[in-house]
């Protein structure tokens, strides 16, 4: 049982402040455009970055590598992760369908796809409905249609906005 599951057994649906990681996996496609790997999440049926909650006695880098593998089958080295930013506060609150309330603290890392390996034997977590490579214009269109909450995991909206407006502002990596 995970640390978060154990906490939930003790506190029920009460709000929790939970630390975790997000991993921005990106690549250049054949048209030399940036694409970002997103996870269609089973809990909300919305797109989000790969990542999740930290376990007891785990470093943030270890959490990022573990969550990346569990949710995508991608193997990465801690040394290849690049720290981008830490996100927390009122914009990073999620009310899950089961009533759980989470105040997230997300340590965001960047990782080039070509610095990973795919494990064909990996058992992908049930948290992942599917994975998809979305281009920056596709992500912008989903964010700008006024219904971003319809498309993206709520906690990830401000992070994804930063990703496209800061780290890939002109379509080129700024990381």
DSSP 71-127: HH-EE--GGG-EEEEEE-SGGGEEE-TTS-EEEEEEEEEEEEGGG-EE-TT----TT
- Predicted confidence (pLDDT) per residue in 123-173, tens digit: 999 999 999 999 999 999 998 876 666 899 988 999 999 999 999 988 888
Please give the Cα distance from 76 to 112 (Å, whole number).
10
Provide the residue ranges of all domains of the chain, joining segments of one domain with +: 3-167
- Take residue 173 and report the two structure tokens written for it: 């990596």
Query: Given this model, what pLDDT does residue 124 score?
Result: 94
Q: Take residue 22 and report the two structure tokens written for it.
A: 């997000």
pLDDT of residue 154: 86
Global pTM value? 0.92
What does the mean pLDDT of the chain come to? 93
CATH topology of domain 3-167: Nucleoside Triphosphate Pyrophosphohydrolase (3.90.79)
């Amino acid at each position: 049982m995970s640390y978060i599951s154990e906490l939930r057994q003790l506190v029920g649906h009460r709000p929790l402040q939970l630390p975790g990681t997000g991993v921005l996996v990106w690549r250049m496609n054949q048209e030399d455009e940036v694409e970002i790997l997103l996870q269609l999440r089973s809990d909300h049926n919305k797109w989000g970055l790969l990542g999740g909650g930290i376990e007891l006695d785990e470093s943030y880098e270890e959490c990022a590598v573990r969550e990346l593998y569990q949710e995508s089958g991608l193997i990465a080295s801690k040394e290849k992760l690049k720290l981008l930013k830490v996100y927390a506060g009122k914009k990073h609150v999620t009310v899950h369908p089961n009533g759980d309330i989470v105040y997230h603290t997300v340590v965001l890392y960047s990782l080039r796809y070509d610095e990973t390996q795919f494990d064909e034997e990996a058992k992908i977590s049930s948290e992942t409905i599917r994975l998809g490579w979305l281009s920056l214009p596709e992500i912008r269109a989903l964010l700008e249609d006024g219904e971003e909450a319809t498309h993206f995991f709520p906690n990830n909206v401000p992070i994804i906005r930063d990703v496209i407006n800061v780290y890939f502002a002109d379509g080129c990596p700024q990381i």
